[in-house]
Structure 1
Amino acid sequence: MKESAVKDRILEVASRLFFEQGYNLTGINQIIEEADIARATLYNHFDSKTDLLLTYIDQTGLQRFEEMKKYIESLSTPKEQILGLFDFRIKRQQDLAFKGCQFIKITSEVSRDETAVFDLVQIQKNRIRGYIRQLVNAVEHHSPLSDELFADMVFLLLEGGTTSSSIYRDAHTLASAKKVVEKFL
């Protein structure tokens, strides 16, 4: 196997395990076994489990953002695009059996001392927040809030609805959050 293919395989296995069973419950030995590689091969590509986690957060964040952006940009109007954020998350949560947000899950597992992890998760969330601000700037809303506060409200309802959907294992909270935002559009 080529070097990049081996690295991709390691990351693919680790990503699946981190998301499905959690970072703390995923051991290096399990990653090595499921990726069918030698221990030295893993460490040739990643300095540590934390290094593997940071790569996972970075790559997954970019992939998820691009998926969301592609979906949103397929919608015609700014109003549809803002509401489409919720539709995208609802579909994603349904497809993933309401397992929640991989980034929130990770931050609940690692120590607060893992600042690089929290910094990278913040970058991922800020990318989404910034995109929502762009969408809000393109739409007329009937909210007493400024565009910035309205965008923050949409972001918080989207994030809170996603977290709640994983707790309740249904899309009701995301659908309710969408209705709240729709009242202002």
Structure 2
Amino acid sequence: MISSEVRDRIVETADELYNARGFQAVGMDELRAAARVSLKRCYQEFPSKSAIVLAVLEHRHRAWTEGLDALVRTADTPRGRLLAIFDYLARWFCEDSFRGCGFINSFAELGAVSPEVADYARKHKESFQHYVGDLAEAAGAPSYLAPQLSILAEGAQATAAIAGSPEAAGQARRAAEVLIDTALREGVSGAA
């Protein structure tokens, strides 16, 4: 089996295990067994558990950005694209595997002992804020809207994970509608 196939299988298996049980609860031996590779092969692909965690975060970042952008692109209007963020959250929160944001979870679990994990989690959150900023700018909204929507989305993720209910997405979407409409009115009156 070629290295990329083994590597992908290890990352996907680690992602499932870490999501279900946490990063620290899953040892290398358990990961190796679940991925059906030898411990030696696991370490050939990843020199440390930290390297696997970072690969899992990269995998999650890619899945998040591609999935979110695919849904956002289906919206017909700039306002609709902003609201599609919350539609994406609603779909995600209904998945059986949803356990909250993997970046928040990794930061909470490992951020104090792994600067690399903390940095990656920060970079992921920054990229989301920039993405929302680009959508808000395209809508003609004032610059304050993007951080507000980002915080609303982050809060919905934490609330849905803790409550074990997808309702936070709908509540956040309704709050986002108010914020967006207010900002767009201010953007139009400020441009006049």
Aligned length: 180
SS in 1 for 2:144: helix
SS in 2 for 1:156: helix
Root mean square deviation of aligned Cα: 1.3
Given that 1:73 and 1:81 are in contact with CA atoms closer than 8 Å, whether structure 2 keeps it comes out as yes
Unaligned 5+ runs, structure 2:
182-192
In the aligned structure 2, how far is the partner of 1:25 from the partner of 1:87?
32
Aligned to 1:26: 26
Q: What displacement does 1:111 show?
A: 4.5
The reply on whether 1:170 has 2:165 as its aligned counterpart is: yes
TM-score, normalised by the number of residues in structure 1: 0.92
Give the 4+ runs in structure 1 shifted more than 3 A. none
In the aligned structure 2, how far is the partner of 1:68 from the partner of 1:27?
31
Aligned to 1:149: 144
Unaligned 5+ runs, structure 1:
142-146
Task: Using CA pairs under 8 Å that are at least 6 residues apart, name the structure with larger relative contact order, 1 or 2.
Answer: 1
Given that 1:136 and 1:150 are in contact with CA atoms closer than 8 Å, whether structure 2 keeps it comes out as yes
Please show how residues 67-86 of structure 1 align to structure 2 within 5 Å.
67-86=67-86
In the aligned structure 2, how far is the partner of 1:155 from the partner of 1:53?
25
Aligned to 2:122: 122
Given that 2:17 and 2:26 are in contact with CA atoms closer than 8 Å, whether structure 1 keeps it comes out as yes
Please show how residues 54-133 of structure 1 align to structure 2 within 5 Å.
54-96=54-96, 98-133=98-133
Partner letter of residue 157 of structure 1? L
In the aligned structure 2, how far is the partner of 1:155 from the partner of 1:148?
12
Q: What displacement does 1:148 show?
A: 2.6
Identity %: 23
